[in-house]
Amino acid sequence: MIRNAHKLTRNDLGLVITFLIAASVMTWLSYSLPRFLPGDFVTATYGSSQVTLTAEQEAALRDYYGENEGFGNYLLRLVHLDWGYSYGFQTPVSALFFSALPWTILLMGSAHLISMVIGFVAGVEAAWRRNRPFEKGLVGGMTVLEGIPEICTGVILLFVFALQLQWFPAAGAETAYGEKVFLAHVLDVVHHLTLPLCTLVLAYFPGNFLLTRNSMMMVIMADYVNTARAKGLPPLRIRYVHAARNALIPVVTRFGMRLAFMITGALVVEKINAYPGVGTLLYNAIAARDLPVIQVVVLMSSLLILAIFFALEFAYRLIDPRIHHAR
Amino acid sequence: MHVNFHATLRRDPWFLSGVTLSALFLILALLGPFLAPFSPWNMDFIPLSPPSATHLLGVNDGGQDIFSELLYAIRNTFVFGVISASTALFLGVLLGAVAGWFGGVVDLILMRLADVLLAIPAIMILILVAALFRPSPVFLALILSGLMWPTISKTIRAQTLNLKQSLHVRAARQMGGGSGYIIAKHLIPEMFPLYLIGFAAKARMAMFMEASLAFLGLLDPSRKSLGMMISYALQFYYMDIWWHWLFPPIICLSLMIMMVTFLAISLEKVLDPRLKESMPGRRL
């Protein structure tokens, strides 16, 4: 299986092409959609002024402001991280984006890690103990929780823990002008991270739990699990080494489908908790109609999501050797 | 197909609660304008007044009756979900059946297109389009359904491939039934319960997206929406508005998402044995 994994099959090539097409569609849309907007900067600036522009002057101005920029040039700028200036913040868009990105990666990465690990282990254990009252209650509770969107959990957690109990800060990612030493700083960041993180974990956890439990239920009934049991292997080994490995496959495949929800949720949660990540940047850009920022944030997040998808597809192939043998 | 899925469904508490909630919200969505005591755009009342007999949930910062706003918001979110999910369902079932039935180049092109659309994050396209053009919500719902159909069509395609080999479909073909006839009279009616999973799942996604877009301030501000109400109310978080202004839209939105989640989960549970056999390989 490991040997096969390095060989690029025809199917892998199809996958690469799919993702390349998706990435170019997104790039092209981010280039062309703003160009469909009525009006432009040069007309808006000089249209009502006393200055009458000759055709050459107008063309020169349009060139200067990059309005007739070709797609090739746009791509070059993207690669060089020359993403233009934000109208609202008066800074390069790349600086804004890269100062926001680490916070989002910290928030989403830890939320996914925690909800994946806990959800998976809880799902496996729940399937193992199926039909006990506690397990039934847990599944019911998780189904209800799955129905509560991030907007709602976020606002409720904010209300209870930040405003009523005041255990956690209601905004920000670190204390401003804190000047703290390393450990205190880390604790401060964790303190600020807790609320948005809990919101996201509450949103992602039920899905992971239910998916793992359902796929584990199917796996447990398989003959090879019975064989392992008959061999007298310790239950923990059967559960995790034999069964859970296969139960993981649907969880990974479904992850891609659920990612659309998760991204949307993360945008909203960042805004609710005023966490200075990409979501809040996007929200502020939308509120200020800051088009260059919206354009770049949308494009770059899409490309990042595509990259994650792509990595997942390969992870899936590695987990499930059957795919390689079947095709 | 699955002979007694009706009976199984009727015994499933999740399905029953999902149906009850759907009935409730359908009534609220249909009768909303008649139940609302005031026009939600009427700004004549004293801003930020607490709940009273005339204003059940008080008045917002713009002097509008919150209860009337809530009814209109439920209606808008519900309609958005239904439009988006039914269009996605229509596209998904049609294209899935066509791809499965004709196979060959048609299948290849449609499924490649589906793969590309699956990879593209729908929310990003919606944000870009909504931020640039401020289109009508119906247009956004249609764009969303144009991005959501692939998951449905993959299920339907796999099922079509199975059905294609079944005796009665081969018999119908033998008798001279054309492709259109067989797709319309055999394939689509026979795959009936399968669509419902897709419908519920897509309605869930659409309502969630609508609420999020409205929350992010991307939809028409004069159009009442649950997400927008939450976003506006949150600006006054330091005041005593939590119970009558912030929590009602939150509870309604949660109940609406729950309604479709319960339906999707229970339908999938009941119909899953077949799904599992018929859907090998990757489900992105």
Of the pLDDT bands very low, low, confident and very high (cuts 50, 70, 90), residue B144 is very high
Distance CA A313, CA A112 (A): 17
Question: What pLDDT is recorded for position B62?
Answer: 77
What distance in Å separates residue A268's CA from the closest CA in chain B?
Answer: 7
A249 and B CB contact within 8 Å: no
Q: What is the pLDDT of residues B24-33, one digit of tens each?
A: 999 999 988 8
CA-nearest residue to B261 within chain A is: A147
With b for 16 or more beta-carbon neighbours within 10 A and e for fewer, the A39-72 pattern comes to: eeebeeeeeeeeeeeeeeeeeebbeeeeeeeeee
Checking if the pLDDT of B277 tops 50, the result is no
B253 and A CB contact within 8 Å: yes
**Class of residue B162 by CB neighbours under 10 A (exposed 0-12, middle 13-18, buried 19+):** middle
**pLDDT by 10s per residue, chain A, length 327:** 344 444 556 677 888 888 888 888 888 888 888 777 776 667 776 766 677 778 888 788 777 766 667 788 888 888 888 887 887 777 888 888 998 899 988 998 899 889 989 999 999 888 888 878 888 888 889 989 988 988 898 888 988 888 888 888 877 777 777 677 788 888 888 888 889 999 999 988 998 898 888 888 888 888 888 888 888 888 888 888 888 888 888 787 777 777 777 888 888 898 888 888 888 898 888 888 778 888 888 888 888 888 888 888 777 777 776 665 554
Count the neighbouring beta carbons within 10 Å of the beta carbon of residue A30.
23
Domain positions in chain A are 2-36+69-319
Q: What are phi and psi of B163, to 5 degrees?
A: -65, -30
Residues of A in contact with B242 (CB under 8 A): 159
Mutation target for A interface from B128, B149, B268: give the one with most A CBs within 10 A: B128
Distance CA B49, CA B46 (A): 6
Question: What pLDDT is recorded for position B245?
Answer: 85
ipTM here = 0.82
What CATH topology corresponds to A2-36+69-319? MetI-like fold (1.10.3720)
Distance CA B110, CA B103 (A): 10
141-200 in chain B: CB under 8 A from chain A: 151
**Class of residue B105 by CB neighbours under 10 A (exposed 0-12, middle 13-18, buried 19+):** exposed
Residues of A in contact with B272 (CB under 8 A): 214
**Predicted TM-score (pTM) of this structure:** 0.85
Return the SS3 of B167. helix
A267 and B CB contact within 8 Å: yes
194-223 in chain A: CB under 8 A from chain B: 210, 214, 218
Tell me which residue in B115, B132, B282 faces A253 most closely, judged by beta carbons.
B282
CB B221 within 8 A of CB B228: yes
Distance CA B50, CA B58 (A): 5
Question: What pLDDT is recorded for position B256?
Answer: 93
